[in-house]
Amino acid sequence: MARPLCVRINRNSILAALIAFAALASSARADFQIVAAPSALPPSATVTLARHDVDQRATRQVLSAQTEADGSFSLQSTEEAGIFVLTVETAPKLTLAVADGETVELALEQGNLQAKGSPGTEILQAYESFRKESLARLVYPTRNDIRNAKSRNATEQEIEKLTQAEVDAYQEHLKELNDFVIQNAGPTMALYGSSLRLDGDYRLPELAKLVDSFAQRHGDIEATRSLKNRIQIARNVALGSLAPELAAANLDGENASLSQHRGRYVLVDFWASWCPPCRLENKHYAQLVQQADSDRFTIFAVNLDTNEKAWSRAVARDQADWIHVSDLQGWTSPLAAKYGVSALPASFLLDPDGRIIAKNLRGTALDQKLSELGLL
C-alpha cells in the first residue's frame, strides 16, 4: 500500500506567498491617470479610450467620457497596463503605451493630441516615426520601381528581380526596427507596442533579455505573457528546431497536417492571394515541383486569406499544384502565430526529420539549396 505524502506546512512561507500573490495581483492593475489642464482640450468633448491587443491587431473600447466645460479632463483608470488608443472628438487618434503609476498629461496642439508623462508612449511615438522613415528609405523606392517596371511592360525576369529586392529590403527594415527597440525601448510598455514586427532571427538573446526586464518591471500581465510567448515562438522556429505541427483544412475541406510528410524535405510556405511577392514565388514553385524529386520533396502552403474564393482563385491561376491549407483567419490565424509570421512571404525548409534547416529561401537561392540536397 502506498504511503501517504507528507508535507510540512510553514506558516511563514504561507504568509510570504500570500503577500507575493497580493503584490502580483495589484501589479496587474495599471492604476494610471489621464489628465488635461483647463483649455488643453475642447470643452464638453467626448473622450474614448480603447485597449489594443497587439497579437490580435484589434481594439475594444473600455470607456467613454467628456471633458469639462473649461476643456479640462481627469480620469483614474483601473485597466491593466498596456497599449491604448485615445480619441478626443475630431482630433487624430493617439496611441498610449501606459504603465502603472503613470500620469499622462494631454494637450491638443495644432490639431494633434500630445501626451507627456509616459516614457513608453514617447518611445513608441519615436519608434513609429522611425518605422515610417525606414520604410520610405529602404522599401518604398523598390516598390515604386516595380510599379514603373509593370507600367512599361518590363520582362518577367526584371520584375522578379525587383520583387526579390523589395523582400530583401523589408528584411533589412525589420532588422533596423529590432536595433531601434534594443537601443531605446528598455522595459517600457513601448516594447510590447512594437513587438508585432520584432524579428526573432535577429539579436534574439538581446530581445529575450529585454523581455525578462519587462517582466520584472510589469509582472504577470497580458503584455508580459505576449512578449514571453513571442520569444518562445522565435526559439521554437530557430534553425535546427523541430518545426511545430500545422494542421488545417485544404480546399476540398479535408484535414491535412505537416507531420504527414515526415520522411521528405518540406518547404512550409506562408502566403496570401493579395501578396504580390507570394504570387510571383508561386510561379517559381510551379516550375520547381515539376523538376524536384516528388518522392523526397513537397511544398506545404499555408494561406492567410480570409476569403475562400480568393484563396481558391489564386491557387488555380498560379497553377499551384501542391498542398494548401488555411483556417481563413488572416493575420489572426494560429497557424501563422505558431511560426511567428508577421510579414509575407515567409518560408521554412524542413529536413526529413521535420527540423528547420533554412528560412526564406527564394528564387535561385532555393534552387541552389535543393540542388545541394540532391532534390533537383
Dist. CA 315–CA 312, nearest whole Å: 5
> Could you tell me whether strands 82-88 and 33-36 are parallel, antiparallel, or unpaired per DSSP bridges?
unpaired
CATH 3.20.20.370 applies to domain 247-372? no
Q: What band does 15 get if pLDDT is binned at 50, 70 and 90?
A: very low
Burial label, 119 (beta-carbon count in 10 A; 0-12, 13-18, 19+) = middle
**What is the model's pLDDT at position 160?**
85
Long-range CB contacts for residues 92-98, cutoff 8 Å, separation at least 24: 95/52, 95/121, 95/124, 95/125, 95/128, 95/193, 96/34, 96/121, 97/121, 97/123, 97/124, 97/188, 97/189, 97/190, 97/192, 97/193, 98/30, 98/32, 98/189
- Reference 30, options 85, 99, 91, 88; nearest CA is 99
**What is the model's pLDDT at position 17?**
36
CA 62 to mean position of chain CA atoms: 23
**What is the model's pLDDT at position 94?**
97
Burial label, 7 (beta-carbon count in 10 A; 0-12, 13-18, 19+) = exposed
Dist. CA 331–CA 56, nearest whole Å: 8
**What is the model's pLDDT at position 252?**
96
Q: Is the confidence at residue 11, as pLDDT, over 90?
A: no
Q: What band does 6 get if pLDDT is binned at 50, 70 and 90?
A: very low
DSSP-derived secondary structure for 331-353: GG-HHHHHTT--SSSEEEEE-TT
Per-chain mean pLDDT for the chain: 91
Is-contact 244 236, C-beta < 8 A?
Answer: yes
Mean pLDDT of 45-66: 94
- Reference 76, options 140, 128, 29, 111; nearest CA is 29
Mean pLDDT of 81-102: 94
**What is the model's pLDDT at position 164?**
87
Per the omega criterion (within 30 degrees of 0), is the bond before 43 cis?
A: no
Dist. CA 34–CA 74, nearest whole Å: 6
Secondary structure class of 79 (helix, strand, coil): coil
DSSP 306: S
Is-contact 60 94, C-beta < 8 A?
Answer: no
**What is the model's pLDDT at position 156?**
84
DSSP 5: P
- The third-level CATH classification (topology) of the domain covering 33-117 is Immunoglobulin-like (2.60.40)
DSSP 199: -
Mean pLDDT of 111-116: 93
Q: Is the confidence at residue 28, as pLDDT, over 80?
A: no
Sheet holding 356-359, edge to edge: 323-325, 297-303, 265-271, 346-350, 356-359
The domain locations on the chain are 33-117, 122-236, 247-372
Dist. CA 54–CA 36, nearest whole Å: 27
Sequence-ordered alpha helix ranges (H) in 204-259: 204-218, 222-236
**What is the model's pLDDT at position 89?**
87
DSSP 4: P
**What is the model's pLDDT at position 193?**
98
Dist. CA 57–CA 242, nearest whole Å: 28
